[in-house]
């Protein structure tokens, strides 16, 4: 499942003009015996304006212009772990993030988490730290508290799967052939057969 999640995120950043490469897989030690594996992608857009900074904590496609380089942590989100009901409930989503993300987010970007410490040393001072999540609580105080905790743990921004998928659907054209991407080809087929429609702008509000 983590490979599928990674492909979704990789396609998104590549379509937004980034060079993407995977950092060697690493593990974050938790209270459980088994380590929590995550995937990290290093993204870079050389033509981005260096003086720009990320204005928003929750990132949307319009914010991609202000990012030059970042380490993006992609968590594996299994269907049994979250549901539409969870995503609509600020309290349930907050508790889910608290259990699965908050207590580990600082470790995701620590030197010990990278198998190759030279990679960490080369990016720790010049890259933004971004994490891909299913969503943030929509209502306060859970939303504000979630953002504060993530910022305290070294996260510069988050991007949700809904933002990523909406952007991919918007950019995929039914008359194009995406031979090198099964994901984009599937989205193209769904559009050809009118199974999905382009997201409305109201979805980004």
Cβ atoms of 141 and 90 closer than 8 Å: no
Containing structural domain, residue 86? 2-172
Range of weakest confidence among 72-76, 81-85, 159-163, 166-170: 81-85
In a domain, 196, yes or no: no
How many structural domains comprise the chain?
1
List the structure tokens of 200: 């409305």
Does 201 fall in a domain?
no
Measure the CA–CA gap between 24 and 15, rounded to whole angstroms: 23
Query: Residue 127: pLDDT above 90?
Result: no
Q: pLDDT tens for residues 170-202? A: 999 888 889 889 999 999 999 899 888 766 544
Asked whether residue 204 carries a pLDDT value surpassing 70, the answer given is no
Report the mean per-residue pLDDT for the chain.
78
Between 123 and 163, where is the model more confident?
Answer: 163
Average pLDDT over residues 117-134: 71
pLDDT of residue 111: 61
Whether residue 167 lies inside any domain: the answer is: yes
Give a yes or no: residue 35 inside a domain. yes
The pLDDT score that the predictor gives to residue 34 is 43
Helix spans in the chain (H): 2-15, 84-88, 90-97, 105-108, 117-123, 142-152, 161-171, 182-192
Mean pLDDT to the nearest integer, 120-149: 82
| pLDDT at residue 8, as a whole number | 92
Residue 29 domain-assigned (yes or no):
yes
pLDDT score recorded for residue 106: 66
Per-residue model confidence as pLDDT tens digits over 25-84? 555 555 444 445 567 888 988 777 665 667 789 999 989 988 888 889 887 665 445 566
Give the position of tokens 């990674």. 6
- pLDDT at residue 16, as a whole number: 92
pLDDT at site 201:
42
Residue 52, domain member (yes or no): yes
Work out the pLDDT band at 146, boundaries 50, 70, 90: very high
Looking at residue 121, its pLDDT comes to: 57
The structure's pTM equals 0.78
190, part of any domain: no
Q: Is residue 137 in some structural domain?
A: yes
């Amino acid at each position: 499942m983590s490979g599928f999640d990674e492909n979704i995120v990789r396609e998104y950043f590549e379509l937004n003009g980034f060079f993407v490469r995977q950092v060697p897989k690493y593990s974050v030690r938790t209270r459980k015996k088994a380590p929590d594996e995550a995937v990290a992608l290093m993204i870079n857009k050389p033509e981005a304006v260096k003086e720009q900074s990320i204005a928003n904590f929750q990132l949307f496609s319009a914010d991609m212009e202000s990012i030059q380089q970042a380490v993006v942590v992609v968590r594996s989100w299994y269907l049994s772990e979250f549901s539409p009901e969870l995503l609509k409930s600020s309290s349930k989503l907050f508790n889910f993030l608290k259990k699965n993300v908050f207590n580990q987010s600082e470790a995701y970007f620590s030197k010990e988490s990278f198998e190759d410490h030279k990679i960490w040393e080369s990016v720790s001072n010049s890259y933004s730290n971004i994490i891909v999540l299913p969503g943030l609580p929509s209502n306060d105080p859970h939303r504000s508290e979630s953002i504060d905790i993530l910022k305290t743990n070294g996260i510069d921004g988050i991007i949700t799967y809904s933002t990523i998928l909406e952007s991919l659907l918007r950019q995929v054209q039914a008359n194009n052939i995406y031979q090198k991407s099964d994901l984009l080809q599937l989205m193209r087929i769904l559009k050809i057969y009118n199974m999905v429609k382009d997201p409305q702008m109201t979805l980004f509000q």
